[in-house]
A and B are shown apart, each in its own frame.
Chain A
Amino acid sequence: MRDWGDLPKRALTASILGPIALACVWLGAEWWTILMAICVTGLAWEWVRLCGGSTRRIPGALVPVFVLISGAAAVVGQFWISLALLAGGAVLVHGLASRYRNLAPPLWFTLGLVYIGVAGIALIDLRHTDIVGRDNVLFLLAVVWASDVSAYAFGRYLGGPKLAPAISPNKTWAGAFGGLLGAAMVGLGASLVVGDPSTAVRAIVVAAALGIATQGGDMFESWMKRRFGVKDSSGLIPGHGGLLDRLDGVMAAAPLAALLSMVSAPGLQLWR
Chain B
Amino acid sequence: MEASHNSAVAVGTAPPRHVAVIMDGNRRWAQSRGLPVALGHRAGSDAARRTIEAAIHAGVGWLTLFAFSSENWARPADEVEEITALLRHYLRAEVNQLMREGVRLRVIGDRGRFGEETLKAMNAAEERTSDGRRLNLTVALSYGARAEILAAARSIAISAAEGTLDPNELDEDAFARRLFTAGMPDPDLIIRTSGEQRISNFLLWQAAYAELIFLPVLWPDFDMGNFNAALADYAARERRFGARTT
Which residues of chain A have a CB within 8 Å of any CB of chain B?
Answer: 52, 101-105, 227-231
Contacts and interface: CB of A to CB of B under 8 A. Distances in A.
A80 B40 CA distance: 39
Contacts of B187: none
A104 B46 contact: no
B36 interface: yes
B38 A231 contact: no
Interface string B121-145: 0000000000000000000000000
Contacts of A228: 35, 39, 43
B82 interface: yes
A229 B42 contact: yes
A247 B40 CA distance: 26
Contacts of A101: 36
A52 B39 contact: yes
A228 B35 CA distance: 8
A104 B35 contact: yes
Nearest to B218: A229
Contacts of B36: 52, 101-104
A105 B34 contact: yes
Which of A227, A229, A230, A231 gathers most chain B CB within 10 Å? A229
A228 B47 CA distance: 12
Contacts of B78: 102
Contacts of A227: 33, 35
B29 interface: yes
Interface in B11-64: 29, 33-36, 38-40, 42-44, 46-47
A228 B39 CA distance: 7
Nearest to B26: A229
Interface of B: 29, 33-36, 38-40, 42-44, 46-47, 78, 82, 220-221
Contacts of B43: 228-230
13 contacts: A52-B39, A52-B42, A101-B36, A102-B36, A102-B38, A102-B82, A104-B39, A228-B35, A229-B39, A229-B47, A229-B221, A230-B42, A230-B43
Contacts of B221: 229
B46 A231 contact: yes
B150 to A, nearest CB: 35
A228 B40 CA distance: 8
Contacts of B33: 227
A162 B40 CA distance: 28
B92 to A, nearest CB: 15
A103 B43 CA distance: 14
Which of B40, B46, B47, B78 gathers most chain A CB within 10 Å? B46
Contacts of B40: 229
Given A229-B220, A231-B46, A52 B38 contact: yes
Nearest to B43: A229
B223 to A, nearest CB: 10
B34 A229 contact: no
Contacts of B39: 52, 104, 228-229
Contacts of A229: 29, 39-40, 42-44, 46-47, 220-221
A231 B220 CA distance: 12
Contacts of A102: 36, 38, 78, 82
A133 B105 CA distance: 55
B173 to A, nearest CB: 42
Contacts of B29: 229
